[in-house]
Structures are given as C-alpha cells and as structure tokens.
Amino acid sequence: MLRVRDLAVGFDTPAGFLRAVDGVSFDVHAGRTLGIVGESGCGKSVTASTVLRLVPRPPGRILGGEVWLGEQDVLTLPSDDLPGIRGNEISMIFQDPMTSLNPVFTVERQLFEVLAMRFGMSRQQAHARSVEMLRTVGIAEPESRLRAYPHELSGGMKQRVMIAMALLCEPRVLIADEPTTALDVTIQAQILHLIKDLQQRTGTAVILITHDMGVVAETCDDVAVMYAGRIVETGGIVEVFDSARHPYTRGLLASIPRRGQGRKAELPTIEGIVPSLTAPIEGCRFAGRCWKRRTLGAADAARCASEDPALRAFAGGEVACHFPVEGTVRPEEMTS
Amino acid sequence: MSDGNGAVPILQVENLKKYYPVRGGVMGRKIGDVRAVDGVSFSVREGETMGLVGESGCGKSTLARALLRLEDPTDGTVLFEGNDIATASKQDLFQLRRDLQIIFQDPYSSLNPRMTVGEIVREPLLVHGVGSKEEQVRKVRDLLETVGLSGDVIERYPHEFSGGQRQRVGIARALALEPKLVVADEPVSALDVSVQSQVLNLMMRLQKERGLTYIFVSHDLSVVEHVSDTLAIMYLGRIVEHGPVDAIYGRPAHPYTRALLEAVPVPDPKQRRVSVPLEGEAPSPVSPPAGCPFHPRCPFAIEACKAAVPALEPVGAKVVDGQAEHFAACIRQGEI
Ligand SMILES: Nc1ncnc2c1ncn2[C@@H]1O[C@H](COP(=O)(O)OP(=O)(O)OP(=O)(O)O)[C@@H](O)[C@H]1O
Ligand code: SF4
Ligand SMILES: [Mg+2]
C-alpha cells in the first residue's frame, strides 16, 4: 500500500546540519499495522511528516528517497496534488491535536469540510455522520460538542475529535504519531480499539508511532526499530519481541519493567546517550553504547567502529548489525 | 523494603482535603468547589515505597503537594513522625522541610536555567545553613557522584544535559538535606525507557542505602508495580483501593483498579487482550456524581451504588499486627 525507500531528511540548525532521517525504508500493507519505535529524537515524527511532505522548509530539507502510494511517488508530485492526498489517501493523527484542529472554527465546521471534500456530503448528511462518529470515538453529548470550539474541549476530547476526523476520511493509509501518549490508559485502550475497528472494516494500512512497547505488542503486526535516524531492525511482531537480533532492540525490551519480574530488582539499562546527529557518524551508530560489542575481540570491535552495517535480511526480519544476537541473553550480560 | 524496620508508619494521613474555589458570574463570586482531594487517609511505613496511581486530573499531584504543604490543605491531618504538617507553623515547617523533599516530573522545567548544576544542588544547603562553604562544596560533589554524575558537571548549566541527567540533578538536590521522605511526582514519565530504567535503579539503590521512604506518583502501572511495596489508587479525589502491591495486582478488589490493570498494554504480543475497554471518561471533580464516584462507568454498578459514597473497607481476612492491610471502597467488593 505504501512503500518508503531510502528516505533522507535533514535540518539546518545553529549547531550545524542535522541528519534526522538517514536512509529509511519500509513497506506498509493494506489491513496491517506497522509500529515504529525508538527513543526520543530518533526521527520517528520526521519520517511520518515526510511521507505527507509536511516537513517545514526551511529549516528542513528532504535529501532523497521515494514514497510510493500505489503508482505515484508523493515526493515528486506537483504541490497542487498534495491536498488531495492528505486526508483522502493518507490521514495523520498528531500527538498534539492542535496541529490539525483549527482554533477559529467549530468542530462541526471542521468535520463538515472533511466530509464535503472527501465524499461530497451535504451539510445535513455531514451532520448525521459527524454525530455518529463522535459517538463512536466515545464523546458524550455529540450534538453539543459539535457546536464547541477546540479550546472548549478537554485534552482527551480534542484528541478524540482529531481521531474522529482522521477516521471519517476512511483513508487508505493512517499515520498515527503517538496518538495516545498524552492520554490515560483506559482512554488509550478505547482509542486503540477504535483504530483496529476501522482497520478491520476498511482495510486501512496503519503506521503507529510510539515509544510504548506495550502498545506495539498489543496492536502491531510488524515493527521497525529506529535508532539515531536509521531503522536498525524490522520484523514480525512476535519475532522481534521473542528473538530480536539487534543489541539495541534487546536492550530496549529488557529495560521495561514487567509483571512478575522480581520487585525492586535492578533493571537492565542501556548506558550512555544517543550520538549527536550533527556530527558525521562513522561505523555503527550504536557502537558507543553497544553491550554486544564489548564482548567481541579487538578486530571485530574495530569493525563496528569503522564499518556502517547495512540492513540485512534474516528469517522473519532484517537487522543492521555486523554481529546479530542469537539465543537468550542474561540481563547481566547487557548491563556489564 | 518490607523486610527492613518496616512496622513504624513514618507518615499518617487522615481525612485530607484540598478544595479549590470555582468562580463564576459577573461578580466572580464563588459558585462551588473543585474537590481535588476529598477525604484521603493512608499511612506509609518507614523505608517503604507507596505507589500513588490514577488518571490525569484524579488529584494525585494535588495530594502530593498538599502532603508537603506546598499547598495549604482545606482540612485533615498529615502526621510526619508525630508532627502535623497540615497545621505546623512557618518555623516548624521550615525545620520539617529538611526531612521532606520532592522530585518533579519535568526535568526540563524544574531546574533553574540560570543556575549551574553545582548551585542548584547546593541551594538547599545554603538555605538551611548546613555546614561551612568547603563542606557544602564537598557535599555537592559527593551527591553528584552518588547519582552518577562526575564532579566536572558542577560548572555547567541544565540545558547542557539530557533528560535523564537533569532528573539525576533533581534527585541530587532532593537528597542534599538527607531527607527521610521523598515524594516523587512522575519522576520518570518524561524519560525514554532505557533512561527510565537508569533513574529507577538509582532511586531503588538510594532507598536501600539510606532507608528512604518514597511516595511514588505515577500513571504507569508497570513502573509502579516494580518499585512499590504498597499502592493507593485514586479516582476523582478519593482513594478507592489501598494495600500491598502483590495483593492488589494479584486480586484487585475495586472495579476501577481492575479496569485500570486490564487497560495496561502488556509488552508481549502473545498475550493480547480481548477484553472490551472501559467506557467514558472520568467526570469533572466540580460536579462529581452522587454515591460512588465510579458508578457511571462501572460495569458492576447497581442502584445502591448511587446512594452513598462507599467507605474504604478491609478486603478479605488478611490481617497484620491486628490491622487489616488491604482496603477497597466498593459495596460489591466481596461479590465480584
Ligand atoms: N523543525 C526542526 N528543526 C530542527 N531540527 C528538527 C526539527 N524537527 C525535528 N528536528 C530534529 O530531528 C531529529 C528527529 O526528530 P523527530 O521529531 O523525528 O524525533 P522523534 O523520534 O519523533 O522523537 P520523539 O519520540 O521525542 O517524538 C531530532 O534530533 C530533532 O531535534
Ligand atoms: S554492529 Fe557492532 S556495535 Fe553495532 S550493534 Fe552490532 S555489535 Fe553492536
Ligand atoms: Mg515524535
């Protein structure tokens, strides 16, 4: 449904040119959900905005890559065609609802515009459909909410309105960037339920960006793990959670507290911090923090520092590491 | 730790209330109250951690602040080692504050950007006139080392540090006066998982070494389970369940606790939930529903639930030192 190839995006910053996304490729299929996970600043949101050509320019610059939606490359389309793509073909749910809600129009007016443009609905038709959708996303008294302006709604309510708006379009591809991070767990469960529901009815392909491994495990079919502007591992959800091959993925999964894991026990951590994206990166971008590398001989460890590992296929996925992890690893091995 | 000198309650909270006035009309007269904290009672034993959980707006942070009298409570007592913080004079409070510290959620805004890290950590020592200048400087170095920051960070400013490092500075500052009780309000919520585990490990280690008592406020139930001995669950300004972590996670007695635990996504794709999420949102604390505050969302509600606010009653038969340990505020707790 959506094929992204070799995406590279950078920003001019006071500290120099920052390579936010550095060669990212992935596919999303109809009716499936791809999770994109990784630490803050690793390029998840920039990747998502690039797919819709929403990167602010300046300071942003798309350096290269292709975004194939069916037979057309979104990155080379004339700008006039973009509004037709956004919303109709690809909808996006942002972490901050005010990015997509207009503060000066009522909820009704905003939902009407979407429905009129997408399906050519009349005001009456749009009203009925909006009421129905607001109810579906769990908004009580939808009639009176329709007359409200965004600032009159609570945070959770605004998020739901934005989700309603995205779902009303019945897009082919839905990109949800941390759609529930700001919400409580019970509301999060409702929203994720809704997205799944829509997907089952319309076969929408979903990209779900999150830093919550629980959310990924629960909702995604495939997952891509990003680190410092690159995808370092992708695969089926069960493969990645059960037998991740990249040392970073292993560390990330080990560091989350889980049920039944000795209370107050020391948690595995990933020492160190992510490399600066304004300096050129030599070798593997995870090398400075990599526990696996510390177990290698001098020659192998030197290879990690000099040679940038490319994504290579293995059974059930792809990994960018010269020495992929195999078998079980004790938590102590990752921390020491 | 429950195996320490655990029997003594260091903090006993009795019927604590914090109301904020709601103003309205042209005259801005008081037209009602927001009952942010509405009659909360619990105790915490020395050297233990009490987790305080609940959804946004349920009153967790207000309670945390009222405990330390960063806000004046409307009613109730907060006995810390026998002294009532709620009614203490300014002078007594100044002395008590040495034993009571707080760590804030946001490592980005809780540190003064114009002060160096050394000045930030030293400030409480200056305010309380602890030690000579040399002693203070040595102490600051020791504290920074304790939280895993090298001495050379002293001259640097908060903006030069990552979120995890800033949170460490906040912890070093909170420890400067060697407090007995530390209230941590969402201390790791703003951090990436891999950094989160570093800060949690640090907090657990400091507790072991110094016998600290923590009140750990969080909306992340997996984190709370990992670090806490006991747990209090808040809904709309009240505690609806309170008791040992194992008892509550093993067999939650209140329907809200149950819903909350069920809504937490499990980071294991082979254990996906099938349950239908809890509906609706928490009502406003300005006009809480009559009777049990949870009844409008509760799948087990019956007519009688609307009649009166249920009191916290002992759950099951487990009794320690002649006192029940596990309480829930639900009239149907035995049946469901
Ligand atoms: N408008 C911009 N100007 C300059 N730099 C930017 C801009 N937008 C993003 N960046 C940089 O690009 C990098 C990737 O940012 P991005 O927002 O994609 O991260 P993310 O993975 O979504 O993180 P988070 O989990 O915090 O949302 C970061 O280093 C960020 O500082
Ligand atoms: S290539 Fe080397 S440094 Fe990079 S993740 Fe693999 S083992 Fe670690
Ligand atoms: Mg982002």
Confidence of residue A321 (pLDDT cuts 50, 70, 90): very high
CA of A40 to the centre of ligand 3 (A): 7
- Provide, as residue numbers in chain B, all residues whose Cβ is less than 8 Å from the Cβ of A154: 281
CB distance A257–B266 less than 8 Å?
A: no
Neighbours of B106 (CB within 10 A): 16
CA distance B246 to chain A (A): 9
Window 90-119 of A: residues touching B by CB (8 A cutoff) are none
Residues in A touching B161 (Cβ below 8 Å): none
Using alpha carbons, list the distances in angstroms from residue B247 to B188, B241, B253, B257, B310.
25, 11, 9, 12, 20
Q: Name the strands in the sheet holding A230-236, side by side, starting at the edge strand that comes first in the sequence.
A: A90-93, A173-177, A205-209, A33-37, A222-227, A230-236, A317-319, A312-314
Q: Which of A193, A219, A264 comes nearest B227 by C-beta?
A: A264
Give the closest-approach CA distance of A28 to chain B in angstroms: 19
The pLDDT of residue B204 is above 70: yes
Nearest ligand to the CA of A36 is 1
What pLDDT score does B332 carry?
92
Supply the angle between the helices B133-146 and B117-127 in degrees, to the nearest 10.
120
Ligand 2 neighbour A229 (Cβ under 6 A): no
What pLDDT is attached to residue B321? 59
Per-residue pLDDT at A75: 92
Is 70 exceeded by the pLDDT of residue B144?
Answer: yes
Interface of A with B in 236-265 (CB under 8 A): 237-238, 241, 251-253, 255-259, 261, 263-265
What's the pLDDT score for residue B304?
93
- Name residues whose C-beta falls within 8 Å of residue A26's C-beta, 6 or more positions apart in sequence: A4, A34, A36, A224, A231, A234
Query: What is the pLDDT of chain B when averaged over all its residues?
Result: 87
The percent of residues above 70 in pLDDT, for chain B, comes to 94
Cβ neighbours of A217 in B, within 8 Å: 265-269, 271-272
Q: Ligand 2 centroid to A293 CA: how many Å?
A: 6
B319 vs B79, more confident: B79
Residue with tokens 């690809």: A90
Q: Given CB atoms, is B198 within the 8 Å cutoff of chain A?
A: yes
CB of A18 closer than 6 A to ligand 1? Answer: yes
The Cα of A120 is separated from the nearest Cα of chain B by a number of Å equal to 32
- The ipTM, to two decimals, is 0.83
Give the CB-side neighbour count of residue A171, counting CA atoms within 13 A: 28
Nearest residue to B140 via CA among B200, B167, B149: B149
Question: From the candidates A145, A154, A186, which should be mutated to test the interface with B, based on the most B CB atoms within 10 A?
Answer: A186
Which pLDDT score, from 0 to 100, does residue B5 have?
44
The pLDDT score that the predictor gives to residue B4 is: 43
Task: Report CA dihedral (B201, B187, A226, A96) to the nearest 10 degrees.
Answer: 170
pLDDT of B2 > 60? The answer is no
Q: Which residue of A has its CA nearest to B262?
A: A186
Cβ B201–A267 below 8 Å, yes or no? yes
For residue B164, pLDDT over 90 is answered with no
Mean pLDDT of A99-124: 91
CA distance A151 to B226: 38
Q: Residue B1: what pLDDT?
A: 39
Rounded distance, CA A119 to CA A126, Å?
A: 9
What is the Cα–Cα distance from A264 to A154, expressed in whole angstroms?
36
Report the pLDDT averaged over residues B16-36: 82
Question: What is the structure's pLDDT at B323?
Answer: 62
Residue A331's pLDDT band (cuts 50, 70, 90)? confident
Q: How many CB atoms lie within 10 A of CB B84?
A: 15
Q: Average pLDDT, stretch B218-245?
A: 93
pLDDT (0 to 100) of residue A183: 74
**What is the reported pLDDT for A222?**
96
Higher-pLDDT residue of B324, B241: B241
How far away is chain B from the Cα of A255, in angstroms, using its nearest Cα? 6
Q: What is the DSSP letter of A311?
A: P
Weakest-pLDDT range from B124-128, B194-198, B277-281: B277-281
Query: A66 CA to middle of ligand 2, Å?
Result: 28
Mutate to test the interface with B, among A145, A184, A196 (most CBs of B within 10 A): A184
Rounded CA separation A255/B316 (Å): 35
pLDDT of residue B274: 65
| Percentage, residues of chain A above pLDDT 70 | 99
Decide whether any atom of ligand 1 lies within 6 Å of the A227 Cβ.
no
Q: Please report the pLDDT score of residue B13 as a whole number.
A: 95
* DSSP letters for A112-158: HHHHHHHH---HHHHHHHHHHHHHHTT-SSHHHHHTS-GGGS-HHHH
A228 lines ligand 1 (CB under 6 A): no
Instruction: Please tell me the least confidently modeled range out of A98-107, A211-220, B273-282.
Output: B273-282
- The pLDDT assigned to B15 comes to 94
Could you tell me which residue, A263 or B101, shows the higher pLDDT? B101
The predicted structure's pLDDT at residue B57 = 77
The stretch B28-44 carries a mean pLDDT of 86
Pocket test of ligand 2: the residue of A226, A284, A294, A312 to mutate, having most ligand atoms within 8 Å of its CB, is A284
Closest to B264 (Cβ–Cβ): which among A157, A185, A264?
A185
Closest-CA residue of B relative to A210 is: B192
Q: Which neighbouring-strand residues pair with A21?
A: A9
Say whether pLDDT at B317 is over 80: no
CA A56 / ligand 3 centre spacing (Å): 15
Q: B119 burial class (0-12, 13-18, 19+ CB within 10 angstroms)? A: middle
Separation of alpha carbons B37 and A240, rounded Å: 44
Ligand nearest to the CA of A248: 2
Task: Copy the structure tokens of residue A284.
Answer: 């593997």
Contact criterion met (CB below 8 Å) for B61 and B106: no
B289 in contact with chain A, both atoms CB, cutoff 8 A: no
The C-alpha atoms of residue A160 and residue A139 are separated, in whole angstroms, by 8
Most distant pair of Cα atoms in chain A: their distance: 72
CA proximity to A100, closest of A166, A173, A194: A166
Q: What is the pLDDT of residue A268?
A: 87
Angle between helices B163-175 and B193-210 (to 10 degrees): 20
Rounded to 5°, angle at Cα A162 from A204 and A143: 115
- Tell me: pLDDT of A302 over 50: yes
Residue A81 CB neighbours (<10 A): 11
B13 vs A86, higher pLDDT: B13
| Lowest-confidence pick of A127-141, B19-33, B38-52, B180-194 | B19-33
Domain boundaries along the sequence of chain B? 7-23+31-99+212-266+275-336
User: B234 is written with which tokens?
Assistant: 């808040």
B225: contact with A, CB 8 A cutoff: yes
Q: pLDDT higher for B57 or A244?
A: A244
What interhelical angle do B163-175 and B117-127 show, nearest 10?
Answer: 20
Question: Is the distance from the beta carbon of residue A99 to the nearest atom of ligand 1 less than 6 Å?
Answer: no
By the 10 Å C-beta count (0-12 exposed, 13-18 middle, 19+ buried), A50 is classed as buried
- Angle, helices A107-119 vs A123-136, to 10°: value is 110
Of residues A14 and B81, more confidently modeled: B81
Q: Which of B236, B244, B265 lies closest to B314 in space, CA to CA? A: B244
Residue nearest to atom 19 of ligand 1 (CA): A41
B286 touches chain A (CB under 8 A): no
| Ligand 1 atom 9 nearest Cα | A46
Task: For Cα atoms A58, A62, A67, give the angle at the middle one, nearest 5 degrees.
Answer: 140
Which of B317, B335, B223, B58 has the alpha carbon at shortest distance from B326? Answer: B317
DSSP 8-state class, residue A192: H
Please check whether residue A44 is in contact with residue A36, taking contact to mean a CB–CB distance below 8 angstroms: yes
Q: Which of A218, A237, A263 sits opposite B265 (nearest CB)?
A: A218
Atom number of ligand 1 nearest to Cα A209: 22
The count of other CB atoms within 10 Å of the CB of residue A80 is 7
Three-state secondary structure of chain B: CCCCCCCCEEEEEEEEEEEEEEEECCCCEEEEEEEEEEEEEEEEECCCEEEEECCCCCCHHHHHHHHCCCCCCCEEEEEECCEEHHHCCHHHHHHHHCCEEEECCCCCCCCCCCCCHHHHHHHHHHHCCCCCHHHHHHHHHHHHHHCCCCHHHCCCCHHHCCHHHHHHHHHHHHHCCCCCEEEEECCCCCCCHHHHHHHHHHHHHHHHHHCCEEEEECCCHHHHHHHCCEEEEEECCEEEEEEEHHHHHHCCCCHHHHHHHHHCCCCCHHHCCCCCCCCCCCCCCCCCCCCCCCHHHCCCCCHHHHCCCCCCEECCCCEECCEECCEECCCCCCCC
Q: Is the pLDDT of residue B6 over 60?
A: no
Residue B64: CA count within 13 A, CB half-sphere: 29
Q: Mean pLDDT in chain A? A: 89
Q: Is A196 on the interface with B (CB under 8 A)?
A: no
Kindly list the residues from chain B whose CB atom is less than 8 angstroms away from the CB atom of residue A218: 265-266, 269, 272-273
The domain B7-23+31-99+212-266+275-336 having CATH identifier 3.40.50.300: the answer here is yes
| pLDDT tens string A172-200 | 999 999 888 767 788 888 888 888 888 88
If you ran DSSP here, which 8-state letter would residue A263 be given?
A: T
